[in-house]
C-alpha cells in the first residue's frame, strides 16, 4: 500500500471530532481567506495556508505519514493565537489528516 492509499484509508475511517478545542482549530485554520506571511525553509517569503505548511512537512519528512502526524502540532500550533483552544485537548492527529491531501504524496513518489 502506498502512503497515499494509507492516508486515504485512515482519513476515511477516522471519526470526525466533536470536541470544541479541535473544532476551534479546524475553524481557525480552515478559513479559506486566512493567510500568513512566512519564511520557508529556503528563506523566501510567501503567503500560505495550513495546507502549505502540511506540504512542507510532507517534503521535510519524505512523506512518512506517521512522522507527519506526530509533527502536526509543532508545525501548526505556533501559527495560531494562544486563546483559540486548549492545545493539549486538540486532536492533532485529526488536524493533520484534515489538512493533508493525497496528491502531496505524489510529489514524494515522483522524486
What is the reported pTM?
0.81
Q: Report the domain count for the chain.
A: 1
Cα 12 from Cα 24, distance rounded (Å): 21
Give whole-number Cα distances, 48 to 11, 64, 91, 110, in Å: 23, 22, 23, 23
The per-residue DSSP string of 47-104 comes to EE-HHHHHHHHHHHHTT-HHHHHHHHHHHHGGGS-TTS--TTTS-HHHHHHHH--THH
Say which DSSP state 44 is in.
-
- What is residue 60's predicted lDDT score, i.e. its pLDDT? 92
Q: What is the pLDDT of residues 5-24, one digit of tens each?
A: 999 999 999 999 999 999 99
Residues of the chain with pLDDT > 70: what percent?
81
pLDDT, position 22: 96
Domain of residue 89, residue span = 3-110
Residue 63 is predicted with a pLDDT of 93
Give the separation between CA 75 and CA 83, rounded to whole angstroms: 17
Rounded to an integer, the average pLDDT of 74-91 is: 91
Q: Which residues contact 24 (CB under 8 A, 6 or more apart)?
A: 84, 85
Amino acid at each position: 500500500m502506498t502512503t497515499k492509499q494509507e492516508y486515504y484509508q485512515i482519513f476515511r475511517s477516522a471519526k470526525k471530532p466533536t470536541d470544541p478545542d479541535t473544532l476551534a482549530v479546524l475553524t481557525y485554520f480552515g478559513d479559506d481567506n486566512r493567510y500568513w506571511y512566512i519564511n520557508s525553509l529556503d528563506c523566501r517569503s510567501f503567503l500560505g495556508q495550513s495546507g502549505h505548511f502540511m506540504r512542507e512537512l510532507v517534503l521535510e519528512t519524505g512523506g512518512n505519514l506517521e512522522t507527519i502526524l506526530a509533527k502536526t502540532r509543532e508545525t501548526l500550533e505556533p501559527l495560531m493565537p494562544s486563546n483559540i483552544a486548549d492545545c493539549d485537548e486538540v486532536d492533532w492527529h485529526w488536524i493533520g489528516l484534515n489538512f493533508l491531501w493525497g496528491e502531496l504524496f505524489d510529489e514524494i513518489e515522483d522524486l
